[in-house]
Amino acid sequence: MLPIRLYNTYMDKEIKHIGTKCGKLLLFGGVYSNLQALEKLISIAEEEGIKPENCISTGDITGYCAQPEETVQLFQKWGALGIAGNVELQLASDSEDCGCDFKSGSRCDDFSKMWFPYTKGRLSKESLDSMKNIPEYISFDYGNKKVTVVHGNYGNTSEFIFKSNATESKERCFQETKSDIIIAGHCGLPFHQTIKEKVWLNPGVIGMPANDGTPRVWYMMLDIINGEVIYTHHSFEYDAETAQKLMYKNHLPEAYGDTLTSGIWDNMEILPELEKMGQGIPIYFNQEQKNTIQTKTQKKMANTYYDPADLRKFGKITEWSEELGTKFFDYYGKVFEEGALSAREKSLIALAVSHVVKCPYCIDAYTKDGLQKGITKEEMMEAVHVGAAIESGATLVHGVQMMNKYNKLSM
C-alpha cells in the first residue's frame, strides 16, 4: 500500500510554471546525500558560467549516502531549482519509507530500511520543513519549446521509466502536460529518446554511477543554437572514495558504498531486460567521450569485429523503424516476465540459445543476468552443452536429407 502522500500525486497534479528560461541549462538528478558529488557539480556549473537559477534538479537531493543535512544546506545555499522526488515527498509527509516503489522483500527494499531512517534522523527540522514547499512538477518555456520536469512520471512520481519501456506512459505524459520536452529522473540511467517528434530526456544521477563499470556520474546541458534546442550528455568523476568511507563509517548499505567506486549496481531488480544487458559496459554518447573513457580506465579495446560497447546501441534499432522496433521491445520485455517458467529458467534458456545462435552480445548479457539470478557456473555450462547437443543433432539429422537426395540422384 502506497503512503498517503504518494496517493495524492495522482489527484493533485499541479504544475508550477516558472516562466521563460534563456541561456545554457544544466540538468541533473539523484544527488542522494552525496555531498562530494554535489560539490563537484557546482564547480562545473561555475566553470561553465551557468547561473544557479539555470541549474535544475529532477529530485531526490537526499538518499543513500551519508551526508543528507550537509547536502540539503549546500543545495539551498547554491540556489539551484528543483522538484520533489519521492524521497522529498515522503520526508515532507513524515512517512516511514522512501516511496521508491521497490518490490517488497527485494534487496533495494531491505536497503531502504537502513538508509531512509538514517536520512530522516539526520535532517534538521528546518530542512524537513523546507521540503513541504518544493513543487512536484515545474514547467518553463525554452526556445520555442515547452519543457516539463518530472521525477518518475507525471502523475506517478515513483514510476521507473527507462529508454526501453513505458512508451505509452511517456506518450501520455507528453499529452497531459502539453509538452515538447520532458526532463525526468528516478531511474538512475542517462538517456534521450524521441517519440513522435517529442523528446524525453533523463540526465541521469550524480549520487550513484550508472551501472556501467566506471565511477563516473551523469548530467546534461541544454542550449539554444540557431533557434534550436540542443541537448548533450556529460559525466564527471569526483571524490567517490570519501563518500564511500563515510557510508561505511555510518553503517549504511555497504553494497551501495561499493557501487560508488566500482560503478556496478549490487542488483538489477528495477531494470528492464535491455538495460540489464548494459551492466559493466562504459556509457558514451559520442566518439570523443568513448576515447576519454578508454584513456581514463586504461581499457582500450583491440580492433575487433564485435565491439562489446555496441550492446548499448541495441535500443537504436527503433531509430530506423520506430513502430516495429518499439513493438519488438514490448514483446521482448513481456517474454522475460515471470510466467509458467521462472525468470531463472528463462535466463538459462536464453544463455543456451545465445550460444547456439553465436551472439556474443547475448552471451555477455545472459551470463551477467544468470549471475544476478544466482545461477552457478556448472548450471551455465550444462545449459551450453544442451544447446550444443541440440544444434549438433539438428545438423546430423539433416544428413538424412543428404542421403535421400543422394540415393535419388544415383538411381
What pLDDT sits at residue 305? 62
If one looks up domain 310-403 in CATH, what number appears?
1.20.1290.10
User: Are 143 and 224 a contacting pair, CB within 8 Å?
Assistant: yes
What pLDDT sits at residue 138? 97
What pLDDT sits at residue 186? 96
- How confident is the prediction for the chain on average, in pLDDT? 88
CA 19 → CA 15, 57, 98, 181, distances in Å? 12, 17, 31, 15
- Hey, do 16-298 and 310-403 end up sharing a CATH topology, with the first three levels equal? no
Domain extents in the chain: 16-298, 310-403
Lowest-confidence segment of 120-124, 150-154, 269-273 by average pLDDT: 269-273
* 72 vs 285: which has the higher pLDDT: 72
Q: Long-range pairs for 299-306 at CB < 8 Å and ≥24 separation? A: 306/360, 306/361
Q: Can you spell out the DSSP letters for 82-151? A: E---HHHHHHHTT-SS----PPTTSHHHHHHHHHHHHHHHHS-HHHHHHGGGS-S-EEEEETTEEEEE-S
What pLDDT sits at residue 104? 84
CA atoms within 13 A on the CB side of 195: 23
Cell numbers for 386? 544442451
* 113 vs 296: which has the higher pLDDT: 113
pLDDT at 4 over 70: no
pLDDT at 6 over 50: no
What pLDDT sits at residue 172? 96
User: Are 177 and 148 a contacting pair, CB within 8 Å?
Assistant: yes
Q: What is the mean pLDDT of residues 26-33?
A: 98
What pLDDT sits at residue 300? 44
What pLDDT sits at residue 8? 38
Confidence band of 320 (pLDDT split at 50, 70, 90):
confident
Closest CA to 194 of 170, 178, 217, 177: 170
What pLDDT sits at residue 252? 96
* 173 vs 391: which has the higher pLDDT: 173
Q: Can you spell out the DSSP letters for 49-72? A: T--GGGEEE-S--SSSSS-HHHHH
Beta bridge partners of 194: 199
Residues 162-217: pLDDT tens digits?
999 999 999 999 999 999 999 999 999 999 999 999 999 999 999 999 999 999 99
DSSP 283: P
pLDDT at 299 over 70: no
Lowest-confidence segment of 49-58, 202-211, 398-407 by average pLDDT: 398-407
Residue with cell 557456473: 377
What span, in angstroms and rounded, lies between the C-alpha atoms of 374 and 319?
35
pLDDT at 29 over 90: yes
pLDDT at 12 over 60: no
Lowest-confidence segment of 71-80, 139-148, 302-311, 330-339 by average pLDDT: 302-311
Lowest-confidence segment of 32-36, 66-70, 260-264, 312-316 by average pLDDT: 312-316
What pLDDT sits at residue 222? 96
Residue 185: Cβ within 10 Å count: 27
Q: Can you spell out the DSSP letters for 123-134? A: S-HHHHHHGGGS
Residues 192-201: pLDDT tens digits?
999 999 999 9
16-298: in CATH 3.60.21.10: yes
Lowest-confidence segment of 8-12, 45-49, 79-83, 387-391 by average pLDDT: 8-12
